[in-house]
Amino acid sequence: MRAVFMTDRGKVRQHNEDNGGIFMNSSGQRLAIVADGMGGHRAGDVASEMTLTSLKGFWEQSEEIQTAEQAEDWLRQHIDQVNKILFEHSNENAECEGMGTTIVAAICTDRFSTIANIGDSRCYILNELGFQQLTEDHSLVNELVRSGQITKEDAEHHPRKNVLLRALGTESSVEMDIKTITFEEGDLLLLCSDGLSNKVTVSEMDEILKSGRNLEEKATVLIEQANNNGGEDNITLVIVEFYDGSESG
């Protein structure tokens, strides 16, 4: 397995409130995370950084994950724990009042990948079936699309596009979506904040990920594309590629 993490402030924002990374447990299994913070004066980066630091610490102390059920339980339990940490911190520190963060996280083993998400940071997969989004955005606009009130095209330019229905740390408890997929030779996972998905089309992502570039180059080109298309937001991504280790590179 190979993986790359990259983040960029973008062309407009003064600060990068996104966080992310790829972390190993004692068995060498990877946990990939992208978190897009929000709220308060500089509190967004506090929320996303606390999320990252907490989950990294939990993961590095974890035993080997052997089943999808174990992976799903791990994510549910530890993301719940982080939610409580953030919620308490925002209640105890006035400058962090109302802070929160999106999260998309993937536990990657040799046989499967388990993905959890809250908010509008996304996970996509590129495999033999093509390129598709695995997660559902927890946003007002996505709810309007799902209920048939607006079209997907309307959603692209909707004035309330940034309104989230769920975030990590804003309430005492939080609901998350969790799913497990089989992860096979040559498959790619892309986790990203909306700074990428709002600026780079699905067909552009597909084309870049299918290109002959190495993972670092693919990540760089995706971020360049988001900046070329406006770069109004922070841009963060993780790409995980499954391969058997006998290949070069």
Question: CA–CA separation, 208 vs 202, rounded Å?
Answer: 10
Q: pTM, whole model, 2 decimals?
A: 0.95
The reply to whether 249 falls in a domain is no
Would you say how long the chain is, in residues? 249
Number of domains, the chain: 1
The reply to whether 150 falls in a domain is yes
Question: CA–CA separation, 127 vs 93, rounded Å?
Answer: 45
The reply to whether 17 falls in a domain is yes
The reply to whether 247 falls in a domain is no
- Secondary structure (3-state) at 123: strand
Expressed as residue numbers, the domain containing 96 is: 2-242
Q: What angle separates helix 68-92 from helix 43-60, to the nearest 10 degrees?
A: 140
What's the CATH number where 50 sits? 3.60.40.10
The reply to whether 47 falls in a domain is yes
The reply to whether 248 falls in a domain is no
- pLDDT tens across the length of the chain (249 residues): 999 999 999 999 989 999 999 999 999 999 999 999 997 557 999 999 999 999 999 999 999 999 999 999 999 999 999 999 999 999 999 989 999 999 999 999 999 999 999 999 999 999 999 999 999 999 999 999 999 999 888 888 888 888 999 999 999 999 999 999 998 899 999 999 999 999 999 999 999 999 999 999 999 999 999 999 999 999 999 999 998 654 433
Burial of 64 (0-12, 13-18, 19+ CB in 10 A): exposed
